[in-house]
Structure 1
Amino acid sequence: MKAKISKRLKLVASFLSTGAKFADIGSDHAYLPCYVCQKDPTATAVAGEVNVGPFQRAIETVKAYGLEQQIDVRLGNGLEVFEAEEVNQLVIAGMGGSLIHDILESGKTKLTSVEQIIAQPNVDARAVRKWMIHHGFTITDEDIIEENRHCYEIINAKRLDTPDNKQLDEKDLLFGPILLRSKPPAFYKKWNEEARKLEYVLQQLKQAKQVDQKKYEQFTKEWRWMKEVLSNEAGTYYS
């Protein structure tokens, strides 16, 4: 029986190299570790889950695939499910960017041996990018995929022997430094939708009795960036 996972998780898994020794935080049913370890008998994983129900289901999934020797399912909050030096790669997928940021920040002492972080924030990828570049990780690759009418960004960051100390600007952090150059179709779809949402927010702010000028100016700047990025390609979704 082969482990089946979503297109989104397959893309996340594709960033792991052969022989990965990784932790999957918020593993839910442990589908991603099962998929990776079934394909690669040399891989090992810690599947971390904070809630008892998903933790029990993850144990059942690992048993069903006969992967108990490769995958250790653990109950705990964030990075507390593994010890420092225990893993070399970290996967955090399927939650908000602010939560991913907080998990990384609160558990940063556990990252001494972690050479790679693969993050898939559902929203606010900017918060994740900020944490990465401020803590010795270089964003080496990014991708974006549409699934079930939602566009998911995947950020791959590594500790390099020679770190890329280039400071990303606000625009890079918002759109993603690599996605901003590659601009796959899902990138346009995502930012077309985000521009429309932000345009509506700006209209509401203008109609408010008391306008938060700082917030209005920041949102206006970001909306203009979105228009600029979307208009840089023929056949843009934006109108």
Structure 2
Amino acid sequence: MKLTPRLLEIANKVEKDSVVADIGTDHGYIPVYLIEEGISRKVIACDINEGPLESAINYVTKKKYQDYIDTRLGDGLKPVKPNEVDTVIIAGMGGILIADILDADKKIADTIENFILQPMVASSELRKYLYNNGYKIVSEKLSREDNRFYEIIVATHGRENIEDEIYYEVGAKLIENKDPLLKDYLLKKIDKTQKIMKNIEEHGETEDNDKYNKLKERLSKLEEVYHDNF
């Protein structure tokens, strides 16, 4: 089967012969791909909503992968037993929600080795949570669909210090690995920040404006990262 660029990048981060839990599985595309391509031995496809899970059940049944893919209804990591999987995928949600899912079931999360996370928004808040709660980011990858960028974060348990807060927003691994999409990704962030600042300026609200000053500092850091690398 053919995955979208975002889902394919997520699946490509799964290690060979791993046992995976896909949280918020939706239609079950990633679990089926992982089994079809011989990447995973077993996948647990979980969703909090009955509708999407029913879609996943139908798709798994159509592909005749019921022996390899379990479908389970439940919130976050709750459908997964401790030590049942070595890898978890949490994709297509906000970064704060992903952090909340990890935080809500720490006893289960502590038994999982690899975390493949793809926040739709609030990636900086997710990175901050990971760094402050006993995780370290081992790799990151950008994916683009149309004009939207997606950040795929791979983490494990450990400790890591952040040299500058800008790396909450722009993953340090994206820079270290010279991600092919990094240049366009940074330019889009710079452009968006400039537009927000211009809007504030047009309303004459820059003086003693905490939001504006933070945006100005953010822009300076983003431009520094850009000029240091391109």
* TM-score, length basis structure 1: 0.87
Q: Residue 201 of structure 1 is aligned with which of 193, 196, 205?
A: 196
- 1:177 aligns with 172
**Is the partner of 2:78 in helix, strand or coil?**
helix
**Is the partner of 1:220 in helix, strand or coil?**
helix
Conservation of the 8 A alpha-carbon contact between 2:46 and 2:73: yes
Which string of whole-angstrom CA distances, capped at 9 and with x for unpartnered residues, describes residues 105-150 of structure 1? 2222321210110111122211221222222222111111212221
- 1:190 aligns with 185
- Tell me how far apart the structure 2 counterparts of residues 231 and 9 of structure 1 sit (CA, whole Å): 31
- 1:237 aligns with none
- 1:126 aligns with 124
Correspondence 1:221-236 to 2 at 5 A? 221-234=217-230
Q: Which runs of 5+ in 1 are unaligned?
A: 235-239
Q: Name the amino acid aligned to 2:160.
A: N
**Aligned-pair distance for 1:194?**
1.8
- Asked if 1:220 corresponds to 2:211, the answer is no
**Percent of matched pairs sharing the same residue:** 30
Which string of whole-angstrom CA distances, capped at 9 and with x for unpartnered residues, describes residues 10-62 of structure 1? 11111111221111111111100110012227521111111221110000011
Q: CA RMSD in A?
A: 2.0
What is the aligned length? 229
Q: Name the amino acid aligned to 1:194.
A: K
**Aligned-pair distance for 1:168?**
4.7
- 2:95 aligns with 97
Q: Name the amino acid aligned to 1:184.
A: D
Q: Residue 63 of structure 1 is aligned with which of 57, 61, 64?
A: 61
- Tell me how far apart the structure 1 counterparts of residues 208 and 149 of structure 2 sit (CA, whole Å): 30
Conservation of the 8 A alpha-carbon contact between 1:85 and 1:111: no
Q: Which runs of 5+ in 2 are unaligned?
A: none
* TM-score, length basis structure 2: 0.90
- 2:133 aligns with 135
